Structures are given as structure tokens and as C-alpha cells.
């Protein structure tokens, strides 16, 4: 069997990669475990030096890495270059901060000495998605390698070149060969990896259904998991919002990565007083997003990652229209090759429509009209997801209160689009998953927080 990488902009085959055999997987796990036993005893200064090397490699090769992402999953190349540079940032962040986060913490008790220490767990399996094929991996790998763990990567089957390139970054940076290893296997073989007793924990970024399946197997084996799953982020536009800025930010937030992001804005909840003006400005901003060749620097919307994903998105649009939504922009599959789908705006969206309750993973925006703030917050939280959310208002104190106390999400932004940052924890609630990545909280997810008590 082979994994086939297809260019979603043309439908042409890029390359074929042989699957990692069961015997090779077992050997990779054993090797990673043995290397971890040595790696965990290396000083933080050495780990940090190698992680800084990885950051340098990413920056120097950002253009090549960006083009590889574009070829395999259709990301506009400017976004791919920026993604590689962001990966360098997370490597630098943990190279500079891991030691302080994982330093023993003295606690005064009735012992002669008592303290908390942070010890690595061992081999951690990462099951990663295609939409940010470098960033999703590095935000797992950087903290875990700095913590003393080893990493195994089961990447999405449509980005095998990216998966192998990431492995090579760590090898070139000087990390022990095999401490971080890519496994080219289909999803049907993940359970066998989780069952291996040398694999101590699992992290997954992906769909809610995939998260439930991995969590069930990991739970059966009593292994720690962190899950970053789907999202249908609400953006609440209140009557006192600065509408020109809000419309621009909201359109950018919807079209990031051609709309294929778990934290892309998806539901735009607009109070009646400003609904008409916001809709006009927002539709214009969405229409300005150029769809085309993802290798061109000014392209905003490239192809969707696969034809089946594009077709599923269009089906959601059609079913929403049939249920009463109005399409005021886009909404038609373009002719020609490639998995393209245009910037699309649905308005008059309400309960019972896919555009209201499902995650639309592509450049489709749902405008939901409401009467006032109270109804807006009820609708924002009327979702099985809880990853990100944003609120737009000129009253910063009001917006901060809403973000802090009212919106049910792991990351809430005021007058800005939701984004990830190595300095801040990232993750969700409800069916958007559990656990946190990034920041000091992220590196603590896969360590043994151990109490030491000395009489």
C-alpha cells in the first residue's frame, strides 16, 4: 500500500509514499522509547540548543516549506510561509521557557523538604490533521521534546511529504535520529500504536468523531489524551461595534486558510440595529477575497484540501438554503479542475440548518440575525462546540465582561479574530475537546507532576 499525495489545485498526483510496515512501526516505537531514556537525562541547555537549531532551519526554509504545504493541501503560499515562520516562533518559545516552567517547585509542609517535580512520560503519539500541516505538529513537538519526551507522528494521509519534512527538520537540527519519527500509516492502524505499552500518551487535533475514537481507545488503555477538535466559532457583533473594522476582521477570520481552520470564524451573530449595514460591509469584504492559484502571492482562497471535502461543504450550503437560508454571495461549485469553492455568505440562518449547527469547514459564512445582546449570547452558546469566540463592541469593558463570563469557549477575543499564540493556552470545551496546548499549560500536559516528600 502507498499514501498518494494529490495537488488539490489540479487533481494531479505529486508523489506516492510507501506505508510504514507493522514491523517498522514496532521498531520505531522501541527506538523512540530507548532514546527517550537517554534524552530525558540531557540538560535543558542542550535541548534548547537543538530546538533553536530547528527554529533556524524553519526560518531559512520557510519558502520551501510553504510551497510544500501548498502543493499537498492547497494552502495559499503566503500562508504556508507564515506558518513555517510561526513554527520557528514556537520552537524558540519553548527553547527559552521550558526550563523555568519545569523547574522543581518547593512546597512548605511538615517534611524536612517537599517539592513538586516534572518528569517526562515517554513516547507520545500525535495524530495530526492536514489543515495546518506544520503548525499543528510543531506546537505538539516543541514542548514535548523540550520536556524530555519522544514523539511519534501519525499525520493526515494527504500530507505525507510535510510529515517527512518535519521529521527531517528535527534530524537536521541535531536531535537523536528516531526521537521524533513519522509513521506513514492510515487511520485504521492507529489503535495498534495506542495499544503498545511503550506509548504513554496521545494527542489528537482533528474532527470530533476522530477525537472520540482515539479517546475511547486511549481510555481503554488508561493513557492520557489531549484533544483539540472541531469548532463553529461565533463572532458577536453588537449594536455599538465599529462596523467597518468588524466586517474586515470578520471576513479575514472566515477566509484564513481558505476557511479550513478549526478556529476560523464561522457564525456571525448580528444584532438587529446594525444587521443591514454590517451585512453589506461584510459581503463586500468577503467578495474581495481572491480565489485562485494558491501559488500566487495575492491569492486569499485556494482550493479545498480534497474534492470530497469541497463536495461535503457544498451539500451543507444547499441543505441550508433548502431550509430557508438566503445565499447572498457565492454558493456555486466553479467549473474546471481543482477542489475550489468560492467565498460564500448565507444570511437569515437559523436553527435546523447545517449552517447553524454544523461546522462548515471552508469559506462559507453564516449570518444569524438576533434582536439584542441577550439573544446574541444565547445563540453564540447554542452549539455543541466551544473552541473560540469573539465579540465586537466599542465598549471594551463590556466586551471583556462578555468574553470572560458569558461566552462558552476556550479562547475569547474582543474586537479581534481568534488566533493561537505560543504564549497563551489553546484548546476548547464541550465537543471541541479538552486539555491545552501551547504556553506553560501545554508543556505540563504530558509530564508526570510528581510529589517528592523527604522526612
Which residues participate in catalysis according to the annotation?
A: 228, 262
- What is the CA 122 to chain-centroid distance, rounded? 23
Burial 408-438 (b: 16+ CB within 10 A, else e): bbbbbbbbebbebebeebbbbebbbbbbbbb
Q: How many angstroms separate the CA atoms of 202 and 126, rounded? A: 6
User: What residues have CB less than 8 Å from 100, skipping those under 6 apart?
Assistant: none
Q: Which of 135, 169, 173, 170 is nearest to 155 (CA)?
A: 135
What are the C-alpha distances in Å from 354 to residues 6, 212, 235?
29, 21, 17
Q: How many angstroms separate the CA atoms of 159 and 156, rounded? A: 6
Q: How many angstroms separate the CA atoms of 303 and 295, rounded? A: 11
- 17 in Cβ contact with 134 (< 8 Å): no
Please give the torsion angle defined by the CA atoms of residues 343, 348, 349 and 351, in that order, rounded to the nearest 10 degrees.
-170
Q: How many angstroms separate the CA atoms of 69 and 10, rounded? A: 14
User: How many other CB atoms are found less than 10 A from the CB of residue 107?
Assistant: 13
Q: Which residue has the cell 458569558?
A: 406
Q: How many angstroms separate the CA atoms of 72 and 6, rounded? A: 6
Amino acid at each position: 500500500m502507498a499514501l498518494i499525495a494529490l495537488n488539490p489545485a489540479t487533481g494531479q498526483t505529486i508523489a506516492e509514499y510507501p506505508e510504514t510496515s507493522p514491523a517498522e512501526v514496532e521498531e520505531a516505537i522501541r527506538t523512540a522509547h530507548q532514546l527517550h531514556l537517554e534524552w530525558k537525562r540531557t540538560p535543558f541547555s542542550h535541548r534548547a540548543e537543538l530546538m533553536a537549531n530547528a527554529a533556524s532551519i524553519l526560518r531559512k526554509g520557510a519558502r520551501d516549506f510553504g510551497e510544500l504545504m501548498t502543493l499537498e493541501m492547497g494552502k495559499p503560499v503566503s500562508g504556508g510561509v507564515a506558518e513555517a515562520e510561526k513554527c520557528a516562533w514556537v520552537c524558540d518559545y519553548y527553547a527559552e521557557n521550558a526550563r523555568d516552567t519545569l523547574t522543581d517547585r518547593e512546597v512548605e509542609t511538615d517534611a524536612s523538604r517537599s517539592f513538586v517535580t516534572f518528569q517526562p512520560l515517554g513516547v507520545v503519539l500525535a495524530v495530526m490533521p492536514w489543515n495546518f500541516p506544520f503548525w499543528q505538529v510543531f506546537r505538539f513537538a516543541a514542548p514535548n521534546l523540550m520536556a524530555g519526551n519522544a514523539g511519534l507522528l501519525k499525520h493526515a494521509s494527504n500530507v505525507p511529504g510535510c510529515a517527512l519534512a518535519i521529521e527531517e527538520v528535527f534530524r537536521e537540527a541535531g536531535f537523536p535520529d528516531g526521537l521524533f519519527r513519522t509513521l506513514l500509516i492510515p487511520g485504521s492502524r492507529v489503535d495498534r500504536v495506542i495499544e503498545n505499552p511503550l506509548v504513554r500518551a496521545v494527542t489528537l487535533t482533528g474532527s470530533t468523531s476522530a477525537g472520540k475514537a482515539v479517546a475511547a481507545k486511549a481510555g481503554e488503555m488508561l493513557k492520557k489524551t489531549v484533544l483539540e477538535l472541531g469548532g463553529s466559532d461565533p463572532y458577536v457583533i453588537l449594536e455599538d461595534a465599529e462596523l467597518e473594522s468588524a466586517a474586515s476582521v470578520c471576513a479575514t477570520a472566515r477566509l484564513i486558510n481558505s476557511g479550513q481552520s478549526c478556529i476560523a470564524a464561522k457564525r456571525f451573530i448580528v444584532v438587529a440595529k446594525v444587521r443591514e449595514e454590517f451585512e453589506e460591509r461584510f459581503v463586500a469584504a468577503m467578495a474581495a477575497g481572491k480565489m485562485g492559484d494558491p501559488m500566487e502571492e495575492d491569492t486569499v482562497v485556494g482550493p479545498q484540501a480534497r474534492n470530497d471535502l469541497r463536495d461535503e461543504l457544498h451539500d451543507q450550503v444547499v441543505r441550508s438554503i433548502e431550509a430557508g437560508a438566503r445565499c447572498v454571495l457565492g454558493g456555486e461549485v466553479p467549473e474546471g479542475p481543482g477542489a475550489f469553492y468560492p467565498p460564500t455568505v448565507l444570511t437569515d440562518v437559523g436553527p435546523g440548518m447545517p449552517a447553524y449547527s454544523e461546522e462548515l469547514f471552508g469559506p462559507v459564512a453564516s449570518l444569524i440575525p438576533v434582536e439584542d445582546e441577550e439573544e446574541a449570547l444565547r445563540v453564540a452558546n447554542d452549539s455543541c462546540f466551544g473552541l473560540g469566540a469573539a465579540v465586537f463592541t466599542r465598549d471594551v469593558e463590556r466586551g471583556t465582561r462578555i468574553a470572560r463570563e458569558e461566552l462558552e469557549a476556550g479562547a475569547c477575543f474582543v474586537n479581534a479574530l481568534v488566533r493561537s499564540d505560543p504564549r497563551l493556552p489553546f484548546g476548547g470545551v464541550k465537543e471541541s475537546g479538552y486539555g491545552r496546548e501551547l504556553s506553560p499549560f501545554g508543556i505540563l500536559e504530558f509530564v508526570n507532576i510528581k510529589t517528592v516528600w523527604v522526612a
